[in-house]
Amino acid sequence: MGQANGQDVEIADVSMRYPGSKRYAVTDVSVHIQAGEFFSFLGPSGCGKTTLLRLVSGFIEPTKGEVLIGGQNMRGIGPNKRPTAMIFQNLALFPLMSVADNIGFGLEVRGVSRAERMKKATELLELVDLPGVEKKKVSDLSGGQMQRVAIARGLAVQPAVLLLDEPLSALDLNLRQHMRSELRKIQKRTGVTFVYITHDQGEALTMSDRIAVMTDKGIIDQVATANTLYNNPKTAFVADFVGENNAFLANVKEIINGYALAETSFGLLKGRNPQNLNPGQRTLAFIRPEALTLREGAETAENVVKCIVKNLSFEGAFITVFLKVGNDNSVIMRQSNDGSTPLLKIGADVDVCFSAENTLLLAYGEVADA
């Protein structure tokens, strides 16, 4: 079928300021996306991920820095000449053309014969699991079907890199879940480098090989696999943005080997200190909800906090417990519903404990708005 082989994308020290604007949309971004990788840019609205996509696709040129695809500098090369294809957020399918004509458009402008284009369209529709709709009008398709047509259209020109601009945001929940695995499948089947942008971390975490987390200041905080982002976030922003996390304001008191003691408003906590923060520094202590447990009997734990149960939320496989500690600090704890822990009562006083290993101390920084 002529599988397109993906190429790598290098974004080297790129900063972008739009003409007429004072602020930089992205600042000093350097990322190397491997060939054939499913790579995502994850961040809140306005973080600059759309800008990056447009820089790679060629619709805008960086104010500083370079964009290289397959080792070749793309400066001065327009979107129609780059080995990229973009899936737009609103899909931008051509309403006056049939499905087959849409898919074949990229080939049509390259002078491919009609017969050949039809053949390609059928092949690609097979690839995206949408056989038989060649003659249909685009407006007769459902949302998910239109998605696949858009992807088929992008793949038809055999791009080295496929750029996807939050393609699933307009779909309803069930379809979104389904399309996540579909997209992943298609990417693996074709070997094309996928560059995906989204603000939905669920999408990014489940689909991507690696993820770049961007803050709303237009910089990348961390590039890593989902696992690493979740368990070893490099900044407070990442720790807060990826997954649910408890965060407590604290000041470092002492450092002990790779750990540190930090003073919160409700007591001392011991936690990992990967950034080697010094005593006196402001920090946020992060503990994942699933790392919290209730103290059983007299067992000792490194961190113990007295909380009051405020609310319970039964969510099937697990129970989310909302607690309060000290001066209105809210705590979220997740218990699995396997009967191993007793059901809590609202208003009860409990001792919540967690290990130092599971507690992460990171320098205080702006986190995304809830």
Partner 1 sequence: MSVSAQKTRFCWPMERWPMRKLWKDALRNFGGIGVIFILLTVGGWLIFMIILPQLIMLDFSFRPLLPLRKLGGPEDVYTLKNYILLFTTPLHRAIFFKTIWASVIVTGVALAICYPISFYLAKVAKGARLGWILMGLIIPYWINELLRLFAWQLILADSGILNQFLMFLGIVSDPINFRAGNGAVIMGMAYAYILFMVFPLYNAMESLDRNQIDAARDLGSSWLRIHWRIVIPYAKPGIAVGCIMTFMLAAGSIAAPQLLGSPSSFWFTQIIYTNFETANWNQGAAYAMILAALCLVFIMIMLKVFRVSLKELAK
Partner 2 sequence: MNSKTVLQFVTGGYIVLFFIYLFLPLVFMGIVAFNTSSIPQVTPWEGFTFKWFGELFADKQMWEGLFNSLIVAFFVVIISVPIGLGATLFLTRLQIKGRDGFYALLVSPILTPGIILGISTFLFWDKAFHLSGGLWTAIMGQSTFISGYCMLMIMARAQRFDRTQEDAAFDLGATHRQVFWKITLPFLKPALLSAAALAFMQSFENYNTTLFAIGFKQTLPIYIGTKLRQFISPAMNALALIFILLTITGAAVYEIIRRREGRRS
How far is Cα 324 from Cα 330, in angstroms, rounded to an integer?
5
Q: Regarding beta strands 84-87 and 161-165, do their DSSP bridges make them parallel or antiparallel, or are they unpaired?
A: parallel
Assess 18 for contact with partner 1 (CB under 8 A): yes
User: For residue 228, what are the CA distances in angstroms to 188, 222, 241?
Assistant: 22, 10, 14
Q: How far is the CB of 164 from partner 1 (least distance, A)?
A: 17
Nearer to partner 2, 57 or 273 (CB): 57
* Pairwise CA distance, residues 263 & 254, whole Å: 9
Rounded least distance, CB 105 to partner 2, Å: 6
Site for partner 1 in 69-128 (CB under 8 A): 78
Residue 60, contacted partner among partner 1, partner 2, none, CB below 5-8 A by kind: partner 1
Ramachandran assignment for 70, one of left (phi > 0), alpha (psi -120 to 50 degrees), beta (any other): left
Q: Is 108 in the site for partner 2 (CB under 8 A)?
A: yes
Report the nearest approach of partner 2 to the CB of residue 10 (Å). 20
Instruction: Sketch the per residue contact string, 20 through 59, with partner 2: x for CB under 8 A, - otherwise.
Output: -------------------------------------xxx
- Name the binder of 20 from partner 2, partner 1, none, CB < 5-8 A by kind: partner 1
Cα angle 65-67-71, degrees, rounded to a multiple of 5? 125
Rounded Cα distance, 308 and 126, in Å: 56
Residue 60 found at the interface with partner 2 (CB under 8 A): no
Q: Is 60 in the site for partner 1 (CB under 8 A)?
A: yes
Name residue 196's amino acid. Answer: Y
Per the document, the length of the chain is 370
How far, in Å, CA of 93 to CA of 105, rounded?
10
Among 5, 15, 34, 63, binds partner 1 (CB under 8 A): 63
Cβ closest to partner 1, residue 59 vs residue 94: 59
Of the candidate spans 16-24, 84-92, 172-180, 331-339, the one that interacts with partner 1 by CB under 8 A turns out to be 16-24
Find, among 216, 204, 167, 233, the residue nearest to 44 by Cα. 216
Please state, in angstroms and rounded to a whole number, the distance separating the CA atoms of residues 56 and 188: 21
**Closer CB to partner 2, 152 or 211, in the complex:** 152
On whether the CB atoms of residues 176 and 184 are closer than 8 A, the answer is no
CB of residue 75 to partner 1, shortest distance in Å? 9
- State yes or no: residue 66 binds partner 1 (CB under 8 A): no
The 110-139 site mask, x for binding partner 2 (CB under 8 A), equals x-----------------------------
Residues in binding contact with partner 1, number by CB under 8 A: 9
3-state SS, residue 108: helix
- Sign of the four-CA dihedral 328, 334, 338, 340: negative
Contact set with partner 1 (CB under 8 A): 18-20, 54, 59-61, 63, 78
